[in-house]
Amino acid sequence: MLIKTLNNGFIHPASSEITTERLYRERRNLIKLMASGAAGAAMASWAGREAMAQELARPGKNPALPGRKSPVAGAVTMDKLTDYKDASGYNNFYEFGTDKADPAKNAGSLVTSPWTVEVEGLVKKPAKYAIEDLLKLSAQEERIYRLRCVEGWSMVIPWVGYSVAELIKKVEPLGSAKFVEFITLADPKTMPFVGSRVLEWPYTEALRMDEAMHPLAMLAFGMYGETMPKQNGAPLRLVVPWKYGFKSGKSIVKIRFTDKEPKTSWNKSAPQEYGFYSNVNPTVDHPRWSQASERRIGEDGLFAKKRKTLMFNGYEAQVGQLYAGMDLKKFF
């Protein structure tokens, strides 16, 4: 398979689509001062569009969680953002139901404070981190990533967090650690569908060590400039933009380092359909549907032409070399 490589030093164009709160207020004041005359009307129209972009970026649903512009290559896409109401209202989170609208309806029962994440296994510095301490571990970054679901839909979401590698370096894995396992909360008292037979609980996902160390792999604490909505995986979730969305475990409570490839939830449930790697690969069909195209949630009408699915979800230049020489149909 031909794999593109990243040009040295190349970083995708940074986006200023998401306006800071300070700049937003300054522009609103400018509108008031220039609200008369042709120039004022033109400026008001332009700044009004900027204000609308700010409304999308910071919806005011949760406490603010700003992030600096990420320096990581590929961490910003110029694609149009998915509306917050779609990103927070159309989710897979089976602990709260199997319908896409169930998590937004049912996740209010999730208790996210206090919250502790335990790091264990093959590390020199095992630890238990309060979520507040994890937030302070590294500077928060804003990253605009595409999220691709195996069922054929996709979104573009501005996440807030930092690379998983920041935590990995802190706990110092042993040389024998080859995989990182992410274990999520399974509380039947606050998650009404835990105990259902659809999956084995708790929900678990895992990455190979070099995948977890890749700067694009992210620990996300928020999105759209705010703390993470419960239905999207509060207070902490994994985001791996070149893999299908189910690979990004929500509401993480434990991170384990191991020398053996862990069994992940969907791989255990249906190994013929969901492999360990779960990379977005349009040339490998799911047994029950094609992966060659996708529909962007909130953007395309029912009869609109679907988008062509991109290899590694469009991140081939950044991550392709992780899989050089591998049979990606066998290791799907």
- How confident is the model at residue 172, as a pLDDT? 98
- How confident is the model at residue 302, as a pLDDT? 62
- How confident is the model at residue 298, as a pLDDT? 87
Give pLDDT tens digits for 219-241: 999 999 999 999 999 999 999 99
Band the pLDDT of 30: cuts 50, 70, 90: very low
- How confident is the model at residue 14, as a pLDDT? 35
Band the pLDDT of 57: cuts 50, 70, 90: low
Helix, strand or coil for residue 66?
coil
Q: What is the mean pLDDT of residues 96-100?
A: 97
pLDDT surpassing 70 at residue 96: yes
Structure tokens that stand for 158 in this block: 């501005």
Residue partners of 309: CB distance under 8 A and separation at least 6: 148, 280, 282, 291, 292, 293, 294
What is the C-alpha to C-alpha distance for residues 265 and 253, in angstroms, rounded to an integer?
15
Any idea which residue has 């005011």 for tokens? 60
Domain positions in the chain are 66-323
- What top-level class would CATH report for the domain 66-323? alpha beta
